Amino acid sequence: MATLVVVRHGETMWNREQRVQGWAPVALTETGRRQADALAATVTDQYAVDRLVSSDLRRTLETARPLGRAVGCEPTPDRRWRERDFGVLQGLSYGELFLGYPEFTLTEVGYTAAETRPEGGESLIEQRDRIIDALTSLVDDMDSNETVVVVTHGGPLYLILGWIKDLDIVATVMEQEQGNCAINEIKVDTESGRLAVQRENDTRHVDNDT
């Protein structure tokens, strides 16, 4: 079977400030860079990586580059692995988003919030379609016994794991967690396309970095 390792980017200042990042070109903090180095060391120690794919946003590419140097693979940017496009809501604090725009809050309105598109952005359902397209395209292209690493964001990780585990969209977002530089391992049956989660939100390599 092939192995797909999907990881989240390192810490940014907007993570610390709990702001909606969306497609903003936010850089890693010093902590985020240390997390990226720790991720690179851990992945190199535990996997023989054949291919490295990354969201093309700044924070993911900054996380992918030390990993690429460690495993000898140049990151291939793929914009389909981006975080959700929040449009005019980008840059708001979580408090401003949830209090000022309850129509986007899953805990308030449930599934309807997942269908609602912010001005200039995309709905959660539209993002899920984009992410699942990226995932299935990659799986279809994987060779038996190949190991591929994808560096992406928290939102896409929720969506692919929820899809594999057959969670509804509300549970997908509300009942899962992904820390900065979390490692998720998915086994891929390249004959059937079947996916099985083997490791989820593993942050032991960065848990002591505050």
Q: Where are the beta strands (DSSP E) in 48-205?
A: 51-54, 76-77, 147-152, 183-188, 195-202
Residue 123, phi then psi, degrees to nearest 5: -75, 165
One-letter amino acid at 21 equals Q
One-letter amino acid at 140 equals D
Give the integer Cα–Cα distance in Å for 108 and 85.
Answer: 21
205 is catalytic: no
Q: Which of 83, 122, 153, 185 is catalytic?
A: 83
83 is catalytic: yes
Give the integer Cα–Cα distance in Å for 48 and 95.
Answer: 42
The answer to whether the beta carbons of residues 9 and 181 sit under 8 Å apart is yes
Residue reference for tokens 């593993």: 202
Q: What is the DSSP letter of 149?
A: E
Helix, strand counts (H, E) of the chain: 9, 6
Residues recognised as catalytic: 9, 83
